[in-house]
Amino acid sequence: MDIKPFDGVILKLGSNASEKVTLVQNRLRELGYAAPESGIFDAQTESVVKLFQAQHSDDSGLPLKIDGEVGFHTWTALFGVVPTVVQPIAQLLAQALAVATSQDHQMEVPPGSNRGPMVDEYLRATGIDPTQGSPNSRPWCMCFMYWVFLQAAQHLNRTTPLPKTASCHQHWVAAANLPNVKRITQQQALDTRSLIQPGLIFILDFGGGMGHTGIVESVLPGGALQTIEGNTNTDGSRNGVGVFRLQRRKPSDSVLTGFLDYSHA
């Protein structure tokens, strides 16, 4: 590939430099990311750029800024140097991460109701009627994960491998019987940290049937995880008010059941 020098024009959401946007989208697809072919820097392109940034470093070995914009460092990582990939990632997982990042800061309406235009979509994806029952009967973190992978699968013209359930515990149990799905226990993850990679779903168990889940976006220096989670708060608590990108999870968390790897499903 010919080196394409950065011309000083930052590409970002709404940019209309279609030829350059097409170059970026084509390059992202060459690297295995599910970028569109539109030539338009839309929300999906921004999400895929953020995913690329979360998994790559600049030419000095420093992490790229995750802002969804293609400036000098991101452009150089794409075109000017051989990108340093943190972890290889399957197409389904890459697309799921792109979908999940597009929902960052999606909020309940009103807060605390477990309702809202998008929250209702997440709930309905797993067969839950959002108009029925009390707010406490509609936790939606697992619904969000199912919806994310459903959207990713539809974009790739395939079916989702995830079991259709709103329960974190039921999801973990059901995954044991799914072909080509790998369950990674907490102990396995602690023993072999390289098993933890972007696109894995983590499962927490707080006891009493209460759980929580989200998707791993990247493994940070020191071993903490950057995640995207629904039905949480900025402090990482469960049954929260929105979708947030967090940097609080650790493989050693006492409530962690494990990770689910759908990369070969």
Residue 225's alpha-carbon distances to 67, 182, 185, 186, 187, in angstroms, are 18, 19, 16, 14, 16
Nearest Cα to Cα of residue 94 among 141, 32, 181: 32
- Compute the distance between CA of residue 54 and CA of residue 65 in angstroms, rounded to an integer: 8
Regarding whether 172 and 251 lie in a shared domain, the answer is yes
**Model pTM?**
0.76
Q: Which helix (H) or strand (E) holds 236?
A: none
What is the full DSSP assignment across 65-113?
Answer: P-SS-B-HHHHIIIIIS---BSS---HHHHHHHHHHHHTTT-B-SSTTS
In a domain, 12, yes or no: no
62 in a structural domain: yes
**One domain, residues 111 and 57:** no
Q: 3 exposed, middle or buried (CB, 10 Å; 0-12, 13-18, 19+)?
A: exposed
Q: Please choose, from the candidates 204, 250, 199, 254, the residue with its C-alpha nearest in 3D space to the C-alpha of residue 231.
A: 204
Which amino acid would we find at residue 163? Answer: P
pLDDT in tens, 187-199: 999 999 989 988 9
For residues 47 and 124, state if they share a domain: no
Residue written as token pair 């102990």: 187
Binned at pLDDT 50, 70 and 90, residue 248 comes out as confident
Which three-class secondary structure state does DSSP give residue 174? helix
pLDDT at 169: 96
Sequence-separated (6 or more) residues with CB below 8 Å from residue 211: 141, 142, 167, 168, 169, 203, 204, 205, 238, 257
- 13-22, 26-35, 48-57: lowest mean pLDDT where? 48-57
Handedness of CA 213, 215, 50, 252 (dihedral sign): positive
Domain match, 206 and 159 both: yes
220 and 256 assigned to the same domain: yes
Tell me: do 184 and 225 sit in the same domain: yes
What's the pLDDT at 81? 60
Domain boundary among 29, 49, 80: 80
Q: Are strands 256-261 and 225-232 parallel, antiparallel or unpaired?
A: unpaired
Q: Encoding tokens for residue 168?
A: 């974190």
If asked whether residues 190 and 118 sit together in one domain, one would say yes
Percent of the chain, pLDDT > 90?
64
Is 6 within a domain? Answer: no
Domain identity same for 147 and 50: no
- Smallest Cα–Cα separation from 237: which of 167, 137, 246? 246
Residues 99 and 48 in one domain: no
Three-state DSSP class for residue 8: coil
CATH of residue 70's domain is 1.10.101.10
pLDDT (average), residues 235-264: 93
DSSP-based three-state secondary structure for 48:
helix
pLDDT tens sequence across 70-88? 999 999 889 876 544 545 5
Structure tokens at 49: 């750029």
- The pLDDT score that the predictor gives to residue 2 is 57
Residue 46 lies in domain:
18-80
For residue 260, the SS3 value is strand
Which of the given ranges, 48-62, 67-81, 121-135, has the highest pLDDT on average? 121-135
- 37 and 135 both lie in a single domain: no
SS (H, E, C) 130-171: CCCCCHHHCCCHHHHHHHHHHHHHHHCCCCCCCCCCCCHHHH
